[in-house]
Amino acid sequence: MEKCVKCNCSDVNLLETGDLRINHIELVCEECLVKTFEEKINKENLVCDECGSKLKVKIDDGIAWFYCDKGEDHTDYGEYLLEPLDPEKEENWF
């Protein structure tokens, strides 16, 4: 049975994280991912562009969303949990 690489829990939903470009994939539970991103928020002092309050994080559909809970017009951006492969030279992201 597969386990979270951070806390070794095996009876939870595991999410793939890492970087496909270097073929590095780890399975991590949502609780550990949120803790990791909360540490990033604190370490990098990530704050809302509009009001300056500390950002929060939620995991949704393979993306870690950093957001301000003060309103929809405030900061809201995401990072892929699993960094995708770069597009071919003839292609682009959009």
What DSSP line would sit under 6-46, residue for residue?
Answer: TT---SS-EEEEEEGGGTEEEEEEHHHHHHHHHHHHHHTT-
Pairing of strands 24-29, 14-19: antiparallel
pLDDT of 13 above 60: yes
**Cα 5 from chain centre:** 16
Q: How far apart are CA 70 and CA 78, in angstroms?
A: 17
What is the pTM (predicted TM-score) of this model? 0.80
Confidence of residue 69 (pLDDT cuts 50, 70, 90): confident
Read off the amino acid at residue 88.
Answer: E
Confidence of residue 91 (pLDDT cuts 50, 70, 90): low
